[in-house]
Each structure stands twice: as C-alpha cells, then as structure tokens.
Structure 1
C-alpha cells in the first residue's frame, strides 16, 4: 500500500475517529486486558464529548492511504520540562504491516520537531506487542507506570525517544 498522507483532524472528524477506533480497539486490547476493561475504557475515552475535550488539549491527525482513512494519532505538549506526549496512535488491522504505523509515527515526530521538541514519550501496555514496533522506531523503556481508570488499572511502560531537531 502506498500514498500515505496525514491531515489535521477537526471536531467534524469525531465520528470517523470513533469508527477507526472501533476497528482497532477490541482486536488490540481484549486479548491483553479483557472485554470488561475494553468496554469500560472505550466508553470513557471514545465518546463524542470526551473526544471533543481531547481535541481541545491535543493535536489530532487522520492517516489516509490513497484518500481512505486508515488510522489516527494525537499528541500534546510540551509539558513544563519540554517533553511532548503521544497519547494515541492507531492504524486499522487491515493496514498494519504496510508501513502505515511507521509513516504516522514519523509524521508526529516531524510535527514535534517543527514545534522545537526534542523528546517524545508514550505509554504502552506492558503486554502489548506494539512495544516491539516502538523499539524498532527508536523508543526505549524509561519506567513502568500503573494508572487507575475506574475499577481497572492500566499497567504500562512509559517509553521515550530523543529527537534530533
């Protein structure tokens, strides 16, 4: 597959983000955290009002392949220490393995560099195979973090990458 592009997402894209996330969420996380936690977290994070609030705080981007949406990402920053945070990066299962994730992550890193950022961090579940992808992209585990969310916990690695500006 070729012809990847990114574009800034707008509030009008929220239904698209929800649709893309429906394609990726349970396939990605149910084997790791179970259906109950998947359902709970999706309801909290990917409803229209939650995404609208997130769009006020984060920069969202839609990934397209040959003009068809196939993923999205969001990041925020810098924090007081100058660190940017990748909050979300998802590509549809049909697009995984095509270079889509690499293209999208590189586009976000370029955005951070344009904003004079020199470090980006992300959280990944400690059992998520995506950790290997991030390591191939130059990210390293910095520390472990356990985050309560409702009746559940997110058991994550915080990974980081220094960017050359």
Structure 2
C-alpha cells in the first residue's frame, strides 16, 4: 500500500469534526478492545471522541488531520503539559495503518513542537499496545514512567522525545 504520497496534512477545521470523530470510532475498538476491554473502549469514545471533547482542540489549532482522496484517514491532537508539548492523540484508520501516514503525522507533531520552542514531546500509550510501543521507539522515544490506571485497565506508559534546540 503506497498511500502516503497522496496524503495531505493540514490543520483541522470545523468541517472536519465528524471525520476526526470517525477516526476515533473506528480505531478505538480494534486498538483497545483486546488490551483493555469493551467497557474501556465505550468510556473512551464517550469521553474523548465527542463533539464537546473535539471542538476545543480544533478551534485552538491543536488538531492536524491526514486527508486522502477527500477523506480524513488520520489525526493528531497536541497540547501543553508541564512545560512540554504532549501528543494526546495519534490515530490512523485501520485500513491505512502501515502506509506511512502515522509517521507523517508524528513527524509533523515533532516539527510543531520544535517550531513552538518545546524541548520535549511527551505521550503515553496503554501497556500491551505493542504496535504503539514499537512505532514510538522507532522514532526515538524513550520510556519515562508508568501510571497505574486501576480498574483492570493496563498502565499508561509515558514516553518522551528530547528535541534538539533550534539555533537561528
């Protein structure tokens, strides 16, 4: 699958709201169902993949979408956390995973963090999400800690990527 060359990365607009939410609705069950169970998936979709949860990030310019053939196939959401830039979401529709879209989105988030003067990009993934672990390690992220979530949900594994200082 050679999709990445036809993908447009751009800031999300209000018109992208349903497309962004659809990415979450399609990725969460296959990503987190096997790791954390259906109740966790239902809770996450209800909490983080609604218009109320998504519109503020779009309005603040913190959501980037990957568009292919007029369809939103992936997205990221970033925001400040303890003096660093946090990558809160990076999701690609299952049928486009492995096509290079995730790497494009991650490189764009790294570039944004550098351009905005951050020294680190931080993120977390659920323990057991081996695909995420391998993906982020490939880009140089290292583990900084774990957060016990409780309720039978796997730990959140926190990673960071030190960003080189911008000179000039």
TM (norm. structure 1) is 0.88
1:47 aligns with 2:50: yes
Q: CA deviation at 1:65?
A: 3.0
Corresponding position of 1:162: 162
More strand by share: 1
User: How many pairs were matched up?
Assistant: 161
From 133, 136, 139, the equivalent of 2:135 is 133
Contact 2:25-2:49 at 8 Å conserved across structures: no
Q: CA deviation at 1:152?
A: 6.7
1:72 aligns with 2:106: no
> In the TM superposition, what are the counterparts of 1:77-92 in structure 2 within 5 Å?
77=80, 79-80=81-82, 82-92=83-93
Corresponding position of 2:17: 14
Q: Distance in 1 between matches of 2:68 and 2:13?
A: 18
> For structure 1, which segment, 65-74 or 124-133, has the greater mean C-alpha deviation from structure 2 after superposition?
65-74
Runs (5+) with no aligned partner, structure 1: none
Contact 1:37-1:152 at 8 Å conserved across structures: no
Corresponding position of 2:112: 111
Q: CA deviation at 1:116?
A: 1.3
TM (norm. structure 2) is 0.87
CA deviation vs aligned residue, 1:30-64 (integer Å, no higher than 9, x gap): 00000111111211111111222444567001012
Contact 1:63-1:70 at 8 Å conserved across structures: yes
CA-atom RMSD, angstroms? 2.0
SS in 2 for 1:98: coil
Runs (5+) with no aligned partner, structure 2: none
Q: CA deviation at 1:154?
A: 5.7
Contact 1:58-1:76 at 8 Å conserved across structures: no
Q: Distance in 2 between matches of 1:57 and 1:121?
A: 19
